[in-house]
């Protein structure tokens, strides 16, 4: 009897011991976490609990978690593989000590108040796949050492205050699929070395101060699904061979300086869902074939020099947003346009625009070249008139003044009070000559513009 009990006890002890061993973070990494917490300003990690234990208090939710892997081949104990700390108001800086977590695959510090620079030491990560530092207050340039992280697939640095030119060494990121650099102060040209990044799927560089032309080599990124070059500083025209990127479903280019150019040949881009070519100095007529892009839900061709009428093929579009503001379009406004999603035809030369002022979803204010001659300029002062939408570099400063408070209120959310103002994107009700309460649609649209 005694013997059996002894046997049982030792079996239990054995099980317990091996269970504990299998779920304990190695000491070096515990020390690393202490250092990291200090640098980030993360005060609520509970070091009385093992970060890798089964019911870890270290995994609060998807946005606040330290995740471990306890079965990495040829290693003992557990290792931290991801740190996700989103929107925690972290006040510190980026910890160089993260490299003391050698099995780390993911760092996500999205939407905090981290300042300072990106540590060059991070170049020594050997398993890192994802870095997101979106929406912080980081300054300085991207360290060239990041080009050493050959495992990297996603580098998200949007909505910070980073500057300098992009290091040519990033062209060594042979597995990269996502580079998000939107809304920083980057300058210089896109490095030639990026030509080799053919694994790229999602490239966003808008709201920066780059120089030079949109590089031709983008045509070789045939896996590209999303390309965002809105107000990037790059010059036009849009490279014709962008037409090779038949996998693109989301193409957004705006505020291109440079010579006039015809509409790029996009007829083979049948996967397109969002097409924004806004303020790109495009001349000529609206292409008939856009009407056959049956996945297209957002079309923004505003502030170009497009002429002619609305092609009849467009009746087939199942579209949510269509912005053709600020062109030279003429002819009648087709009747079907009255009953579709948000459509803005303002600032064109349409024949009978003034008739439809009261239609909620359609903004035709000043669509008519005849202006006040038609007698319907009264729409301008009606409190129930459709909301105005304006934009483009040229229109920026004055409208920003008009809409200033509303915009800065919205922009607090993305930690970038200056970003929209900087590029003069602006939207507000112009009905009474000053802005009114922002409508839900215009908010949606603004958020959509921000692509957050």
Minimal distance, residue 405 CB to ligand NAG, in Å: 22
Strand-strand pairing, 426-427 and 389-390? antiparallel
Minimal distance, residue 305 CB to ligand NAG, in Å: 8
**Is residue 133 helix, strand or coil?**
coil
Cα separation of 122 and 145, whole Å?
Answer: 7
Q: Which is nearer to ligand NAG, 305 or 401 (CB)?
A: 305
Minimal distance, residue 9 CB to ligand NAG, in Å: 31
Minimal distance, residue 268 CB to ligand NAG, in Å: 4
Q: Which is nearer to ligand NAG, 59 or 72 (CB)?
A: 72
The residue whose Cβ lies closest to ligand NAG is 222
- Please give the residue ranges that form the binding site for ligand NAG (CB under 6 A): 69, 71-74, 82, 91, 105-106, 115-116, 123, 129-130, 144-145, 147-148, 154, 169, 187, 195, 209, 211, 216-217, 219-220, 222-223, 243, 246-247, 257-260, 265, 267-268, 281, 332-333, 335, 338, 351-352, 354-356, 374-376, 378
Q: Which is nearer to ligand NAG, 249 or 439 (CB)?
A: 249
Q: Which is nearer to ligand NAG, 285 or 374 (CB)?
A: 374
Cα separation of 86 and 106, whole Å?
Answer: 13
Q: Which is nearer to ligand NAG, 364 or 430 (CB)?
A: 364
Q: Which of 195, 88, 179, 174 is nearest to 135 (CA)?
A: 88
Strand-strand pairing, 79-85 and 64-69? antiparallel
Q: Which is nearer to ligand NAG, 143 or 402 (CB)?
A: 143
Structure tokens given for 227: 């390309």
Cα separation of 154 and 175, whole Å?
Answer: 9
Minimal distance, residue 85 CB to ligand NAG, in Å: 14
Q: Which of 121, 181, 112 is nearest to 146 (CA)?
A: 121
Query: Residues near 307 by Cβ (< 8 Å), separated by ≥ 6?
Result: 283, 284, 285, 327, 328, 329, 330
Query: Residues near 434 by Cβ (< 8 Å), separated by ≥ 6?
Result: 402
Minimal distance, residue 212 CB to ligand NAG, in Å: 10
Structure tokens given for 159: 């909505």
Q: Which is nearer to ligand NAG, 353 or 449 (CB)?
A: 353
Query: Residues near 228 by Cβ (< 8 Å), separated by ≥ 6?
Result: 182, 203, 204, 205, 206, 250, 252, 451
| Cβ–Cβ under 8 Å, residues 230 and 391 | no
In the beta sheet, which residues pair with residue 69? 79
Minimal distance, residue 245 CB to ligand NAG, in Å: 7
Minimal distance, residue 332 CB to ligand NAG, in Å: 3
Q: Which is nearer to ligand NAG, 197 or 438 (CB)?
A: 197
Cα separation of 205 and 228, whole Å?
Answer: 6
Q: Which is nearer to ligand NAG, 23 or 209 (CB)?
A: 209
Q: What is the DSSP string of 135-180?
A: SSEE-S---GGGGG-TT--EEE--SS--EEPPPGGGGG-TT--EEE
Minimal distance, residue 371 CB to ligand NAG, in Å: 13
Q: What is the DSSP string of 290-357?
A: GGG-TT--EEE--SSEEEE---GGGGG---SEEE--SSEEEEPPPGGGGGSSEEE--SSEESSGGGGT
Minimal distance, residue 79 CB to ligand NAG, in Å: 9
Q: Which is nearer to ligand NAG, 116 or 404 (CB)?
A: 116
């Amino acid at each position: 009897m005694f013997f059996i009990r002894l046997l049982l006890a030792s079996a239990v002890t054995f099980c317990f011991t091996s269970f504990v061993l299998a779920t304990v973070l190695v000491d070096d990494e515990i020390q690393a976490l202490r250092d990291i917490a200090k640098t980030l300003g993360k005060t609520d990690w509970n070091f009385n609990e093992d970060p890798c234990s089964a019911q870890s208090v270290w995994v609060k939710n998807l946005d606040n978690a330290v995740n471990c892997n306890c079965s990495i081949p040829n290693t003992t104990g557990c290792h931290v593989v991801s740190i996700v700390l989103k929107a925690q108001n972290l006040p510190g800086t980026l910890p160089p000590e993260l490299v003391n977590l050698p099995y780390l695959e993911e760092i996500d510090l999205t939407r905090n108040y981290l300042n300072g620079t990106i540590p060059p030491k991070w170049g020594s990560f050997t398993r890192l796949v994802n870095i997101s530092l979106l929406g912080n207050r980081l300054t300085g340039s991207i360290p060239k050492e990041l080009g050493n992280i050959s495992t990297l697939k996603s580098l998200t640095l949007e909505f910070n205050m980073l500057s300098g030119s992009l290091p040519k060494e990033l062209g060594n990121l042979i597995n990269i699929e996502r580079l998000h650099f939107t809304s920083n102060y980057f300058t210089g040209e896109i490095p030639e070395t990026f030509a080799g990044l053919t694994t790229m799927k999602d490239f966003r560089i808008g709201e920066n101060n780059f120089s030079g032309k949109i590089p031709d080599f983008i045509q070789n990124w045939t896996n590209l699904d999303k390309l965002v070059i809105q107000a990037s500083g790059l010059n036009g025209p849009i490279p014709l061979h962008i037409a090779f990127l038949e996998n693109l479903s989301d193409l957004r280019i705006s505020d291109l300086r440079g010579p006039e150019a015809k509409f790029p040949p996009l007829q083979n881009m049948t996967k397109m869902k969002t097409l924004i070519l806004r303020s790109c100095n495009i001349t000529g007529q609206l292409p008939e074939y856009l009407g056959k892009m049956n996945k297209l839900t957002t079309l923004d061709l505003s502030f170009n020099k497009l002429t002619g009428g609305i092609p009849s093929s467009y009746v087939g579009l199942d579209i949510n947003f269509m912005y053709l503001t600020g062109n030279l379009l003429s002819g009648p406004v087709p009747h079907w346009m009255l009953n579709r999603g948000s459509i803005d035809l303002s600032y064109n030369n349409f024949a009978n625009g003034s008739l439809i002022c009261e239609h909620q979803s359609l903004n035709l204010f000043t669509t008519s070249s005849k202006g006040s001659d038609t007698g319907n300029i009264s729409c301008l002062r009606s409190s129930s008139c459709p909301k105005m939408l304006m934009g483009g570099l040229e229109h920026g400063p004055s409208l920003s003044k008009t809409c200033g408070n509303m915009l800065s209120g919205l922009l607090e959310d993305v930690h970038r009070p200056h970003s929209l103002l900087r590029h003069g994107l602006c939207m507000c009700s112009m009905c009474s000559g000053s802005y009114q309460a922002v409508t839900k649609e215009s908010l949606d649209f603004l958020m959509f513009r921000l692509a957050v």
